[in-house]
Each structure stands twice: as C-alpha cells, then as structure tokens.
Structure 1
C-alpha cells in the first residue's frame, strides 16, 4: 500500500473519531443542560410554592422509575415526568445512539471503499494479463 493510501485511511479514521467525539460532546452538553434546567425548575417551584409543593413534585417523579432505555424513549416522546427530562433524553440519544451509530456507519463506508478499491485493482490486473 502506498503512503498516499495509508494517509487517506488514517485521515478517515481521524474523521470518524472527530465526528463521534463531537456528537458525544453535544450529548454531554445537552445532558448537563437538562440537569441544570431541572435544578432551576425545582428551585423556582420551591420559591413559588414552598417545600410541600417541591416534595410532592419529587415524590411524583420518583414514583415513575423507568429503566434507562424506557427513560430515553419516554423523555423524547414527551412523557417524561421531570422538567429537564427532554433535554437529558436527547443528550442520552446523542451519546449512546448517534455517536456510536455514526462511527459504525463511517467505518462501514471506509471498509466498503477499501474493498471496492481492491476489487477494481484485481479487475485491472486481470485485464492486463
């Protein structure tokens, strides 16, 4: 393999890592923003309605314990019980679904492209003989 092909393969691998890292970073920012929004909403509820309202809200949220996958689906479908659940759910989708999926798709495209190059090289060599 020539140096040019190796460089192209290395650059595309770096591109895969950059894309996955950017998506994961966006997801982390969304999760932290959702946590901050939830904390701010609880503080506003405490200030406006008092500790009894906050306790009732927290009891209501705690009564709907979901698995992680169910939380991800419920939060983006609009059925989340907490104020910040939508932002957190979208962030979890970025981190645990979009980033790995994009990396897998880019690796698959890279693999298919390298496979296509080797097939076309074999055809060119066969035609030469």
Structure 2
C-alpha cells in the first residue's frame, strides 16, 4: 500500500470519528437540554401549583418507569409522562443509535471503496501481462 493510500485511509478514519463525535455531542446536548427543560417545567409547576402538585407529578412519572430501550421508543412516539422525555429520548437516539450507525456505514463505505480500488488495480495488472 502506498503512502498516498495510507494517508487517504487515515483521513477517512478521522472523518468517521469526527462525524460520530459530532453526532454523539449533539445527542449529549439534547439529553442535557431535556434535563434542563424537565427541571424548568418542575419549577414552573412548583411556582404555579405548589409542592403537592410537584409531588403528584413526580409520583405519576415514577409509576411509569420503563426499561431504557422502551423509554427511547416511547419518548420519540410521545408516550412518556415526563416533560423533558422527548428531548432526552432524541438525544439518546443520537448517542446510542445514529452515531454508531453512521460510523459503521462510513467505515463500510471506506472498506468497500478500498476493496474496489484493489480489485481494479489487480485487473489492470492482469490485463497488462
């Protein structure tokens, strides 16, 4: 493998890592924003209706605890009971599904492209002989 091909493979690996990192960072920001929105909503509820309303809200949310995968699914369909669940769920989708999936797809495209170049190179050498 020539130095030029090695550099191209390294650049594409850096690109894959950059894309995955940006998507994961976006997901983290969405999760943190969802937590902040949830806290702000609870504070608004406390100011408007008092501590009993916040306790009732938290008891209602706690009574509908879901496993993590179910939470991710329910959050994007709008069936979660917490105010900030949608943003948190979308953030978790970015971190745990979209970022790894995009990295895997980019690596597969890079691998298939390198394989195609190797096949074309072998065919050219075979035709020359």
Corresponding residue number in structure 1 for 2:43: 43
Summarize the alignment of residues 46-125 of structure 1 with structure 2, pairs less than 5 Å apart. Answer: 46-125=46-125
Count of paired positions: 129
Q: How far is 1:44 from its partner?
A: 0.5
Q: Which runs of 4+ in 1 moved over 3 A?
A: none
TM-score (normalizing by structure 2)? 0.99
- Deviations 1:27-56 (CA, angstroms, capped at 9, x unpaired): 000000000000000010011000111111
| Structure 2 portions without partners, runs of 5+ | none
Q: How far is 1:80 from its partner?
A: 1.1
Measure the CA separation in 1 of the matches of 2:15 and 2:103. 9
TM-score (normalizing by structure 1)? 0.99
Corresponding residue number in structure 2 for 1:127: 127
| Structure 1 portions without partners, runs of 5+ | none
Alpha-carbon RMSD across the aligned residues, in angstroms, is: 0.5
Moved more, 1-10 or 104-113: 1-10
